[in-house]
Amino acid sequence: MEASRDPDRARKLVVALDGPGSSGKSSVGAAAALRVGYRFCDTGLLYRAVTWLALARNISTSHPHAVRGLVDEVDLLPDQAGRLSRVLVHGQDHTDEVRGPEVDVAVSVFAAIPELRLALLERQRVLAAAGGMVMAGRDIGTVVLPDADLKIFLVASVEERARRRTEERGLDPQGPEAAAILDALRRRDELDSTRPVAPLRAAADARIISTDGNRFEDTVDAVVNAIRDVEARLAADPDRDPDREPKPEPSGAGG
Ligand code: DC
């Protein structure tokens, strides 16, 4: 029993981590991946990189094939810990620009383009193929990696997410910028969850983790524990189909 919990003996999983904007997917996912020795990929960066490039080139969403063509120009670069957290365009680092406010406003509209989603699908699957990967996004558990060993969906109220983002940016919580952040998040939630292709939603077999009122470390612990739990179950039962995580209880694991 002891040996089955040895992380060195466990097969490294493919973990899908989804949730709305500013639910903490990137920071929580990166921290959890580091703790379990997995790679981490924030797929939102791919959508942001293409959006940034389209805005820079004046390519509008009414030219989906031109937008799709930009996919080959963007790359993600791992940092020393193996987290795919840097955006490269033709070898130049543009990570800061793709996180800027112009991209914030436009990215959901670009992310709704089916041709773009299709072009990024294969890229994301290739990145996850070797296992030992926490992949964060909106449709990872539902579309990109429907056979993931573990699916987690992070939820938090829009007010809490706006408050966190306001704090991250060092803004006055009562000021107009804070109100604009709340509005923008509401708008992105609406666009991301109502688009016809791969809308934001939890997979039926995802564990739901609510982060409202959680400390950052609590949420990281919840994700790490879920990964360890599935690793241990797979290691303990060699007869289990190693590619399938059993369906959790319908209520999910809770926060
Ligand atoms: O997580 P983020 O805010 O960086 O995501 C940016 C946008 O990309 C967001 O509008 C949703 C979209 N996105 C998506 O549609 N599918 C993903 N797998 C990741 C992000």
Atom 8 of ligand 1, residue of closest alpha carbon: 44
Q: Decide if 75 is inside a domain.
A: yes
Atom 11 of ligand 1, residue of closest alpha carbon: 108
Q: Decide if 130 is inside a domain.
A: yes
> What's the rounded Cα separation, in Å, for the pair 38 and 133?
5
Pocket of ligand 1 (CB under 6 A): 21, 43-44, 47-48, 107-108, 111, 137-140, 188, 192
Dihedral of alpha carbons 140, 141, 147, 148, sign: positive
Quick one: pLDDT at residue 9?
A: 52
Quick one: pLDDT at residue 81?
A: 75
| Parent domain of 24 | 3-244
Global pTM reads 0.86
What is the chain's pLDDT, residue by residue, as a tens digit (255 residues)? 333 445 455 689 999 999 998 888 999 999 999 999 999 999 999 999 999 999 999 999 999 999 999 999 999 998 877 788 899 998 899 999 998 889 988 999 999 999 999 999 999 999 999 899 999 999 999 999 999 999 999 999 999 999 988 998 899 999 999 999 999 999 988 988 888 888 888 999 999 999 988 899 999 999 999 999 999 998 887 566 544 544 444 443 333
| Neighbour-count burial of 69, counting CB atoms closer than 10 A to its CB (0-12 exposed, 13-18 middle, 19+ buried) | middle
The first and second tokens of residue 82, run together, are: 């193996």
Domain count, the chain: 1
- The backbone torsions φ and ψ at residue 133, rounded to the nearest 5 degrees and listed phi first, read -135, 130
Which atom of ligand 1 is nearest to 43's Cα? 19
Quick one: pLDDT at residue 89?
A: 92
Q: Give me the CATH number covering residue 128.
A: 3.40.50.300
Atom 15 of ligand 1, residue of closest alpha carbon: 111
> What's the rounded Cα separation, in Å, for the pair 83 and 89?
17
Strand ranges, E, within the chain: 14-18, 39-42, 74-78, 83-89, 92-93, 133-137, 150-155, 207-210
Q: Decide if 128 is inside a domain.
A: yes
Q: Decide if 255 is inside a domain.
A: no
Q: Which residue has the tokens 């996004």?
A: 137
Quick one: pLDDT at residue 85?
A: 87
Residue among 138, 158, 181, 194 whose CB has most ligand 1 atoms within 8 A, to mutate: 138
Q: Decide if 251 is inside a domain.
A: no
The first and second tokens of residue 123, run together, are: 């890229």
Query: For the range 60-68, what are the long-range contacts, defined as Cβ-Cβ under 8 Å and sequence gap of 24 or more?
Result: 61/109, 61/110, 61/112, 61/113, 64/113, 64/114, 64/115, 64/116, 65/115, 67/110, 67/113, 67/115, 67/116, 68/113, 68/115, 68/116, 68/118, 68/119
Q: Decide if 41 is inside a domain.
A: yes
Ligand 1 centroid from CA 46, angstroms: 8
- Range list of H helices, 99-209: 101-111, 114-128, 158-168, 176-194
Residue 54 in contact with residue 62, Cβ under 8 Å?
Answer: no
pLDDT digits 0-9 by tens, 57-84: 999 999 999 999 999 999 999 887 778 8
Q: Decide if 135 is inside a domain.
A: yes
Residue 16 in contact with residue 203, Cβ under 8 Å?
Answer: yes
Q: Decide if 249 is inside a domain.
A: no
